Structure 1
């Protein structure tokens, strides 16, 4: 008869069983501590990822500013940049507190994208001239003319971030051009600077004009330019081949 009396006190232990229920969810919590979970990773000391909408806004701003800088120069109204990006001015300034910061990041954004296009072109095209053509047209679509602020007075060309990006770009385009010249498909009397200047000049509107719809002409004119790079050369070029160092010295 003492047995029932022992079980009677254990009856309240039934509510204790639900306390084991919280430990049941604890099992799924262990896998969540992996990199996929932002909240738990943050508690573990990892840097939280930026929100997806913030990343989208930043990319929209950079793309819109790149377009505006190609058309109007780096002094383009920031209100116009915000309008093109489809955001408010407050959002623009939250990402880029002043014009210099925005110009810096537009140049970096464009440089990195053009570098990636040079590397992909050489890796994926069947021959070096096809790679050069693909790079040239892609760089025009990437608005390479937005790099012109790098030649302007007052622009911080020696910022470590920009120096690294510019070096990577120079190496990628030099490798691409050298591949064409070594294969005998591209004339030997041009340099990277010649290519970059022509790209910039042929893919952006003339300053001070309303001729902003130049895309339909740019690729035609670029292809004419590319045909002039084929071997055998039809004529002798005046002067000497231009390097990227020549451009930074503003000798053009």
Structure 2
């Protein structure tokens, strides 16, 4: 019995270390993908995470698996931000504004390319997160519209397109430069969302299905 207990105690720190290493790799990969795109060398990600290449491959079989996990993590984080804004803000438009800026901080625009690099959109966890995100953002917008704060002719696609486009790095510039004007431009965009509308929009809003990788 004593030997078994000792083995269990030794196993616990090992599991903690493994979990910590996995989290460090995911965080480092996210930062590297934002800065350099999905083709960044995996050894550069391992170095950034402070682990060896063998440790990275022990947790992730290949680049596609790592990309999938990072993209899934980011999608879940954005969903959590939307749910927190909905639950904690009493003003409907402030809840929407908070979600937009928090989603921007997740750098969704810079990470969009991951959706086309081995991301399995049919994974049950991904589907669940996407459904949750669409539902809560729709509720945020419906609440603001019902409060008379959101113009009636905008849809969820208008919001998501703007967030992704305004958080992308400008071609030929360092990714970090986006931070200087990202929130400023998002605030200008949100002012255009407010009711009453000052113009009539042409065309129709995009849907979540329009963002799926296999659509053209």
Query: CA 1:154–1:101 in structure 2 vs 1: closer, same or farther (change >3 Å)?
Result: closer
CA-CA distance at 1:250 after TM superposition = 3.9
TM-score between both structures, scaled by the size of structure 2: 0.85
Query: CA 1:50–1:222 in structure 2 vs 1: closer, same or farther (change >3 Å)?
Result: farther
Q: Which runs of 5+ in 2 are unaligned?
A: 1-6
Give me the whole-angstrom Cα distance separating, in 2, the residues matched to 1:143 and 1:50: 32
Superposed, 1:200-239 pairs within 5 Å as: 200-239=164-203
Check whether the contact 1:66–1:143 (CA below 8 A) recurs between aligned residues. Answer: no
Matched, 1:57 2:21: yes
Q: Which 10-residue stretch deviates more, 165-174 or 208-217? A: 208-217
The match for 2:35 among 64, 71, 74 is 71
Give me the whole-angstrom Cα distance separating, in 1, the residues matched to 2:146 and 2:164: 25
Deviations 1:52-78 (A, max 9, x none): 332222222222222222233322222
Query: CA 1:60–1:131 in structure 2 vs 1: closer, same or farther (change >3 Å)?
Result: same
Check whether the contact 1:71–1:207 (CA below 8 A) recurs between aligned residues. Answer: no
Q: Which runs of 5+ in 1 are unaligned?
A: 1-37, 43-47
Deviations 1:151-203 (A, max 9, x none): x2754221222112211111121111221112111112222222112111111
**Paired residue for 1:123?**
87
Check whether the contact 2:83–2:136 (CA below 8 A) recurs between aligned residues. Answer: yes
Give me the whole-angstrom Cα distance separating, in 1, the residues matched to 2:120 and 2:166: 26
**Paired residue for 1:169?**
133
Structure with higher RCO (Cα < 8 A, 6+ apart):
2
Aligned length: 208
CA-CA distance at 1:49 after TM superposition = 9.5
Structure number, greater radius of gyration: 1
Check whether the contact 1:61–1:81 (CA below 8 A) recurs between aligned residues. Answer: yes
Query: CA 1:82–1:116 in structure 2 vs 1: closer, same or farther (change >3 Å)?
Result: same
Check whether the contact 2:151–2:194 (CA below 8 A) recurs between aligned residues. Answer: yes
Check whether the contact 1:137–1:219 (CA below 8 A) recurs between aligned residues. Answer: yes
Q: CA RMSD in A?
A: 2.5
Superposed, 1:88-103 pairs within 5 Å as: 88-103=52-67
Matched, 1:243 2:207: yes
Matched, 1:149 2:149: no
